[in-house]
Amino acid sequence: MKSELVVEWRHPPGMDEPPIRFEETGKGIFVLLDEIRPVLEADGIRYRFMGKVVDSAEPALLFNGRRIEVLLADVAGSQYLCSGRRCDPGPEMYFSHTTEGDREVLIVPEMLVRKAVLLALEDE
């Protein structure tokens, strides 16, 4: 297991947080990261946040260099117990989208993001 969780938030000017909300509570992902930070640190895992304003229109949230979308797809696939190809509903079963103002927001179960953090901490 890695000894550090590096959260990198690359975003265009004016976008303060990733467009990700939890379906259960409506909370944003930074709220969850604030909640789990003491737990990680108690287990000896350092937490480092890096925010970077970029000119590109495509925001990116990375955990230890891995995009959150990729991590979420990986953990969502493991949620479904059927291993047959025909019965795999795909990760989109767990995600939905909505709009807030002029941007699209990803709605996900909080547990998937918690699992994505753990996956980012696994040694490759």
**Domain layout of the chain by residue ranges:** 4-121
Q: Which residues contact 39 (CB under 8 A, 6 or more apart)?
A: none
Which pLDDT does position 75 carry in this prediction?
A: 85
Task: State the angle between helix axes of 29-42 and 110-121 in degrees (0 to 180), rounded to the nearest 10.
Answer: 50
Which pLDDT does position 91 carry in this prediction?
A: 46
Q: What single letter denotes the amino acid at residue 62?
A: L
- Asked whether residue 53 carries a pLDDT value surpassing 60, the answer given is yes
Collapsing DSSP to helix, strand or coil, 59 comes out as: coil
3-state DSSP: the chain helix, strand, coil percent, rounded to 5?
35, 30, 35
41 compared with 24, residue with greater pLDDT: 41
What pTM, to 2 d.p., does this model score? 0.81
Query: Which of 25-34, 39-48, 94-103, 107-116 shows the lowest mean pLDDT across its residues?
Result: 94-103
- Asked whether residue 4 carries a pLDDT value surpassing 50, the answer given is yes
Rounded Cα distance, 86 and 47, in Å: 40
Please report which confidence band the pLDDT of residue 78 belongs to, taking 50, 70 and 90 as the band edges: low
Which pLDDT does position 76 carry in this prediction?
A: 77
Residue whose entry in the numeric block shows the structure tokens 């909640």: 35
Which pLDDT does position 104 carry in this prediction?
A: 75
Identify the helix (H) or strand (E) that includes residue 98. Answer: strand 96-100
Which pLDDT does position 63 carry in this prediction?
A: 96
CB-based contact 91:77 (threshold 8 Å):
yes
